[in-house]
Structure formats: C-alpha cells, structure tokens
Amino acid sequence: MSRKYLAFLGTNEYLECYYTLQHKATSEPCRFIQEALIRVFCQNWTKEDSILIFTTNEAKQKNWESCYFGERYIGLQDRLSQLHLTCISSQIDIQEGDCVESLWKIFDTVFEHIGDQDELIFDMTYGFRSLPMLALIILNYAKFIKNCTLAGIYYGAFETLGPVHAVKKKPVKERIAPVFDLTPFVSLFDWTVGIDRFLNTGDASVIASLTNEVIPQILKESDNQYLEHTSNLRKIVQAIFNFSQNSVMCRRKELAYSALTIPEYLEQAILSSKQILKPLTPLLKTMQERFQAFAPDQELANMFQIVRWCLDRNLIQQGLTLLYEGIITELNKRLGLRGETYHERQIVTTAIRLMKMNNPTGLSEQFYARYHLTFEDVQQCFPEPSAQFLSSFETLRQARNAINHGGSRKKASFFRQSLKQSLEKLEGLFLRAGQPGQPVL
C-alpha cells in the first residue's frame, strides 16, 4: 500500500502560469500542471510513495527532458528534481494510442504500476485523444480489482486564459488558471454501483459506506453549514441500511418497523440531497415511490410487500422464511395470541398439519385448553376456502424447510417458483374483501 500520483504528459509547448486550487494560488509560476499539483499534494510523501509520469516517445523528448523551443526549455524531469522530494519520480513509456491494440497496451502498462490498496491521485490535464477516458476506466478497474482508493482527480484549465498566442502576450502574473477538482464527478461511478446494487439486490452497504465517507467531508468544507441537511441524510440512509440488513437477516419484527421509518424520513431527505448530495436524489425518489404504500395499520399487507421485495431481489430463502413466519403470526393474531412463543406458534402449525392429514382429533384437549381454545377456534381462523389455503401453505412449508436445510434434492428454480406461487395465492386468500394489498416493492 502506498500513495501514487499518476499523470500523462503531452507534447505541446506549455506556458508558465499560476494555478489555483480551491481559491489558493501556487507559490510560484510553473509550466507544468504536474509541478503545481505535486507541490500541493506530494511534498510530505515518503520513499514508499511515487510519482508516475506516463509519456509517449515524443512527449518524453519535448516535455520530460529539457530541450529547446527557441530558448532553453526545462523539462518536467528537471523541475521535479529541483523540488527535492523524498518520494520517487518515474517516467514510464507508453505507446501512441492510435489503435485499439496500443490502447490495451497502455491499459496494461498503467495498471501494472498500481499496487494493492494504493491511494491514487490522477491528473488528467494533459494527454491526447482517449487517454483521459482510458485513465478513468483504469482507475475504476483498480478500485475493484486491487481495492485502491481515489484520493483525487484534477484538471488544470489553462484554456480558460484564452488562445495560446494571446496568453503569450500577458505578463505571467496575470496568467492565473483554475484547477478543477473532478473527484465528486468520478464518485458518480461509485454511487451508480451502490444505487444499482440496492435496487436490484437489496444490499445498501455501498450507499451507507459512501454516505459515511462524504458527509464528514461536506461538513468540513462547509464549516458545519449543512448540519441539518446531513442529519436528514444520515437518518434516511440509516433507515435504508436497517431495512436492507433486516431483510437479509430475516428480522421479521424489526423489518416492519424499519420499513415504516423510510417514508417518515424521505421527504426532508430528498430536499437535503438536492442541496448537498445530488447522486442520492434519484435513489430517494425511487424509494418514495416504492415505500409510499407502507402504513402503520397495514401489518399484514406490509408483510406481503416485504416478501415481494425479497422475491424481486432474488432473496429467496429470506422470502420463504418471512412469508411462512408471517402467516403463522397472522393466524396467531386471529386467535388473540401474540405468536411470540414456540407453544403459541405450534398451535397453528400443528393444526394445519393435522387438517392436511384430515385428522382433527390428533391433538389432545389439554393442548388447546392451555390457551382456552378449541380445534374449531383454530380452524375458523384459516382463510376460505380452507382447502386452497392448506395446499398453498403446504407448498410454502416444504420449500421453506428444504431451503433452510440445504435443499439438496431440489433444483434452485423450485424455490423461486414456490415462493412466487405461495406469495400470489396466500396474498389473494388473506388480502381480499376490500383490502387488496397491492404490492409496490
């Protein structure tokens, strides 16, 4: 693990100017944006860190090495040596990039100079044709393959000073070019991955991680100006993360609560995201559409929606378990029981099994007397027609048991199909007569 500064060097004749980064000008004029950025970021780097300048043969001759453009022109190599840095500065040869094959060779060259868990700063000012875009692809590839982090990506906008012939006529002290910090734009790749992962798999860990990284930076740069906005975002991201975790871990009771907290925090969070973290806004609006039907007084409908969320995101084992346990809980409620103990839940599961076997006398009177119930009481809590319920629940029970015990005799497709069929049939049986419970997840 080390810090690395990477840049492509071009072939143009570069003019001296001052560069400004975050409204702070470089201490002295430079011809090369690399020198300006290295002065800012690399002064305290150690021997473990390195500066990597990638050049074609022409760029090496014209700008890495000192040469003459009518007068002596000190190259970047000599300029960096005058900084007396502790870290190593290296020039690395690359091809011209004039065909697909050479672009792949450039890709390989840059990538092989990036180590595991390196912290990268990239300057995309110079270079030609497709090199800046290629560099972005390499950086994102390195983040996934080598677990690297992107500390910053910068562009020195010399062209804002005007045409080169006009800039030459200006005194150097009037040549002040801005450096654009493009890191937030590049982070859109990460947000895209995070949002896509959550919407398609239910995993909110990337979103939570990104938010936790970005919010402290926002507060620092704004001198805590956005405390209220960041608080709103923390609440909604935590709510989304909790819902995600509870879904994966089948935390039935916590799921109902976490699902209801999302709509509660969404409205303010959307407004706040527009102010300080725009990549989150589309995600939050999508969440608003998908969670708006959750309501405190619709526990059963909420349960079916959560199961459909699992089905649509291929969380099949979770969906089967949550649907099975949710049905047992609902039947316990209809009996006036809380359904939180093994014995209470066994009343329902045993009665279902015996009815399926057409053996209603299989339970002793003492079994029911404990809860002041009769077999008929249990039977009447089942939705009608009871034969359809028993058949659908048996399909669910078999799939749930098989998947939770490895399901070695069942194909993977069996479990998904079983969940889909059980959800549709049981939802239809339980949510009718004026409460269709239309899933929105």
Which position has the higher pLDDT, 426 or 290?
426
Check whether 440 has a pLDDT greater than 50.
Answer: no
Amino acid making up residue 135: A
Q: How far apart, in Å, are the Cα atoms of 308 and each of 10, 302, 423?
A: 55, 10, 8
Please give the pLDDT value at position 295: 82
- The position carrying tokens 């398609």 is 200
What local confidence, expressed as pLDDT, does residue 158 receive? 92
Judge contact between 4 and 118, C-beta under 8 A: yes
pLDDT at 97: 77
Between 71 and 117, residue with greater pLDDT = 117
Banded model confidence at residue 433, pLDDT cuts 50, 70, 90: very low
Q: How high is the pLDDT of residue 441?
A: 44
pLDDT of residue 366: 54
Average pLDDT of the segment spanning 338-360: 80
pLDDT digits (tens, 9 = 90+) for 136-186: 889 889 988 999 998 899 999 999 999 989 999 999 999 999 999 888 777
pLDDT value at 326 more than 70: yes
pLDDT score recorded for residue 359: 65
Q: What would the pLDDT profile of 206-218 be if each residue is shown by its tens digit? A: 889 888 888 887 8
> pLDDT at position 437, please?
38
Tokens representing 84 are 């007396």
pLDDT score of 132 more than 90: no
Residue 364 has pLDDT above 70, yes or no: no
Q: What is the mean pLDDT of the chain?
A: 86
Amino acid 224: pLDDT? 80
Order of strands across the sheet with 18-21?
A: 24-25, 18-21, 176-181, 149-156, 119-123, 3-9, 50-55, 88-93
* Section 259-276 average pLDDT: 89
pLDDT at 360: 62
Average pLDDT, integer, range 222-233: 86
Query: pLDDT category, 353, cuts 50, 70, 90?
Result: confident
Question: DSSP string of 347-365?
Answer: HHHHHHHHHHTT-GGGS-H
Task: Identify the pLDDT of residue 134.
Answer: 85
Q: Which pLDDT belongs to residue 256?
A: 84
> Model-level pTM?
0.77
Backbone angles phi, psi at 59, to 5 degrees: -65, -35
As a whole number of angstroms, the distance between CA 48 and CA 3 comes to 8
Q: How far apart are CA 250 and CA 313, in angstroms?
A: 14
The yes-or-no verdict on residue 130 having pLDDT over 50 is: yes
Q: At what angle do helices 280-291 and 227-248 cross, to 10 degrees?
A: 50
Q: Which amino acid is present at 81?
A: S
pLDDT, average across residues 87-92: 95
Average pLDDT over residues 383-409: 89
Kindly state the average pLDDT of the residues 414-420.
95
Rounded mean pLDDT of 268-272? Answer: 91
What pLDDT band is residue 298 in, cutting at 50, 70 and 90?
confident
Q: What is the DSSP letter of 161?
A: G
In which band, very low, low, confident or very high, does the pLDDT at 361 lie, cut at 50, 70 and 90? low
Q: Tell whether the model's pLDDT for residue 408 goes beyond 90.
A: no
Nearest Cα residue to 114 out of 50, 35, 55: 50
Quote the Cα angle for 199-202-206, to 5°. 85
**Bond into 385 cis (ω within 30):** yes
DSSP per residue over 242-262, as a string? HHHHHHHTT-HHHHHHHHHHH
> Residue 95: left (phi > 0), alpha (psi -120 to 50), or beta?
beta
The confidence band for 434, taking pLDDT boundaries of 50, 70 and 90, is very low
Q: Can you give 364-407 as a three-state secondary structure string? A: CHHHHHCCCCCHHHHHHCCCCCHHHHHHHHHHHHHHHHHHHCCC
Which pLDDT tens digit goes with each residue over 26-79? 668 899 999 999 999 999 999 999 999 999 999 999 899 987 655 667 899 999
Q: What is the pLDDT of residue 438?
A: 39
The region of weakest confidence among 66-70, 242-246, 418-422 is 66-70
Q: What is the pLDDT of residue 26?
A: 66
Q: Are 402 and 410 in contact (CB under 8 A)?
A: yes
Q: Residue 279: pLDDT band by 50, 70, 90 thresholds?
A: confident
Q: Which residues sit opposite 30 in a β-bridge?
A: 17
